[in-house]
Structure 1
Amino acid sequence: MKKLTLDEIKQVEYNVLCQIDEICRQEGINYSLAYGTLLGAIRHKGFIPWDDDIDLIMPRDDYERFLQYCQEHETPFYIISHRMDPKWPFLYTRVCNASTVIPDEPLWKWRGKMGLFVDILAVDGLGNTFSQAIRNMYGTVFLLSLANAANWDHFFKTRTRFKGYYDIVRFGFYVLGKLVNINKLLSYTEKRQARYPIASKVYSGETSGAFAYGKKEIMASDMFSEFIEVEFEGKLFKAIKQYDKFLSTVYGDYMTPPPKEQQIGHHYINAYYLKDENFISNT
């Protein structure tokens, strides 16, 4: 199998994004570029040069409609979700290119086919006060941390500067994880997340990926009610209208690139074509 270069990885992922966008426009489904993808669109008009992934967020109703469409129709991609694969240990949905493959992660118990992907994360209502939203968010984060640890094939130490204390906590999750059924835990957690429609609460947010940004994920609910179009790699895609407030909350001064020594991708994906022919010319 031929290993893909960083530029080829980006092109495959971009093609998957185009396919998702086509379905969403056809079906009237709202989505937004998110996190580093949204930052890249605003600051670079495309990928952050040293980054290698695409993230989207969808209000819960739109997220459910997208999944239902994918279950009921033939699509040019396939999706990985805990609803379809009981061993998948995450709540977000991974939309995968069918002509590429990423080798199994040796850390995970999960072993399944995974091509280059776009991640889609649902946004839910969290609370009418910021403190209520924090409680709901960290309740979900606790459960997702447990599901994540239950998927570890073995315990491993972290490299963070807080590793002494953090590793003790992580080992506790690893031990508890041996006692849980991942799929049942995720199904319960997703029901818990989806209790409150965005419009019914003052604060909303995406919690299935909140490990990275914590309470910065908590935003005013109207943040997710209006959408515009922004340029990404020469094409227009959807984004929340209040993208400046979103990016400022998560990243601070997002228009200033980090120092050169910090311009490093965080996924380090190794991906391969399933065959020797070049698949990335097809969207």
Structure 2
Amino acid sequence: MMSSESREELNIEQIHQVTLDIVKKLIEICDEIHVNYYVAYGSLIGVVRHKGFIPWDDDFDVVMLRNDYEKFCDYCTKHQKEMSPYKLLTRESEEKYPYNIARLNNMDYQAVYDNVQGYDSGIFIDIYPIDGAGTNAEQVMKRVKKKKSNLFRITLWSIDDHYTRSTYHKWYRSVIKYFVRLYAKIRGSKYFLDQLEAFKNLYDIDESRYIAEMTWDSGLTLYEKKWFDDYLYMDFENLKVKVPVGYDEFLRCHYGDYMKLPPKEEQIPHHEYKVYLR
């Protein structure tokens, strides 16, 4: 395989085309094994506002309720050979994989990261598991949000591959970060990823009014479970994709007026990687 320096980086239009093929593969598998996915986050804005990719966005996100997520991951793990060049990456399938979400990859391509511990990644779509989040929103937020945010920050330091000084905080915050990051490196990423993963067991999803992305990302946003009681089909490029029946409420709780375009200077990709054909 050639080094990244001798290969031509894919542009965003090329990434979109490969990503669209990965989405088709996801839909094919979900239909075959009868699990639901829901397009989510910025990709859902793309569905509703653009009927396709947000022109400057370089990723694709879906969520699955925990049982469907586990069933999907189990299927992909057992059928890895016949899925090639598609490959599902999880912490169970890849020793160095540093996230508590799954990624469905096209391994004909390679994503080269700026500051994440090394693992072999292709062009991918993110698959987030959604878990139960109780019935009392105030109690759940008080119990989980701050602890999860702090733990997530340390987890990111445990999986980065070099120290970056905080430029927007006072000097002593950088000192604190240096020593906490050192502790995180000594402890190892598995310790912190396991702690985050344990949040999935706090609440029974069947008994919960709310659901949430409990095991990854900073902070905590609660969704009414009824928003995911059913799905709608909406246009995405040349596909029909599933969105939660409560997609409007879901987007408003995350983004407010999601139909309004961001300022021009914010219309850029936000991921720290480059993509190449292997």
Would the TM-score normalized by the shorter structure come out above 0.5? yes
1:127–1:136 Cα contact (<8 Å) kept: no
Give the match's secondary structure for 2:186: coil
2:119 maps to which of 101, 112, 115: 112
Which one-letter code corresponds to 2:29 in the other structure?
A: I
1:130 to partner: Cα distance = 1.4
2:241 maps to which of 237, 243, 254: 237
Structure 2 partner of 1:221: 225
Cα 1:32–1:168, aligned 2, differ >3 Å: closer, same or farther? Answer: farther
What are the superposed Cα offsets for residues 212-239 of structure 1, whole Å, 9 maximum, x if unpaired? xx34x21122222221111111210111
Instruction: Provide the rounded CA distance (Å) in 2 between the counterparts of 1:180 and 1:26.
Output: 41
Give the match's secondary structure for 1:238: strand
Give the match's secondary structure for 2:103: strand
State the aligned residue count: 268
2:91–2:100 Cα contact (<8 Å) kept: yes
1:192 maps to which of 187, 190, 199: 199
Instruction: Provide the rounded CA distance (Å) in 1 between the counterparts of 2:73 and 2:240.
Output: 23
1:210 to partner: Cα distance = 3.1
Q: Which is further off, 141-150 or 71-80?
A: 141-150
2:132–2:203 Cα contact (<8 Å) kept: yes
What are the superposed Cα offsets for residues 246-283 of structure 1, whole Å, 9 maximum, x if unpaired? 00110100111112222222125421111xxxxxxxxx
1:180 to partner: Cα distance = 1.7
2:231–2:245 Cα contact (<8 Å) kept: yes
* Aligned pairs for 1:50-199 within 5 A: 50-73=56-79, 74-76=82-84, 77-103=86-112, 105-108=113-116, 110-134=117-141, 135-158=143-166, 161=168, 167=174, 170-199=177-206
Which one-letter code corresponds to 1:68 in the other structure?
A: D
1:92–1:120 Cα contact (<8 Å) kept: yes
1:251 maps to which of 249, 255, 258: 255
Q: Which is further off, 121-130 or 149-158?
A: 149-158
Question: Which TM-score applies when normalising by structure 1?
Answer: 0.86
Structure 1 partner of 2:266: 262
Identical pairs, percent: 31
Instruction: Provide the rounded CA distance (Å) in 2 between the counterparts of 1:223 and 1:190.
Output: 24
Question: Which TM-score applies when normalising by structure 2?
Answer: 0.88
Structure 1 partner of 2:3: none
Structure 1 partner of 2:217: 210
Give the match's secondary structure for 1:236: strand
Give unmatched runs, 5+ long, in structure 1: 275-283
Q: Which is further off, 221-230 or 248-257?
A: 221-230
Structure 1 partner of 2:29: 23
1:123 to partner: Cα distance = 0.4
1:129 to partner: Cα distance = 1.1
1:172 to partner: Cα distance = 4.9
Give the match's secondary structure for 1:43: helix
Task: Report the RMSD for the aligned CA atoms in angstroms.
Answer: 2.1
1:92 to partner: Cα distance = 0.8
Q: Which is further off, 241-250 or 229-238?
A: 229-238
Cα 1:144–1:40, aligned 2, differ >3 Å: closer, same or farther? Answer: same
Cα 1:269–1:89, aligned 2, differ >3 Å: closer, same or farther? Answer: closer
1:81–1:92 Cα contact (<8 Å) kept: yes
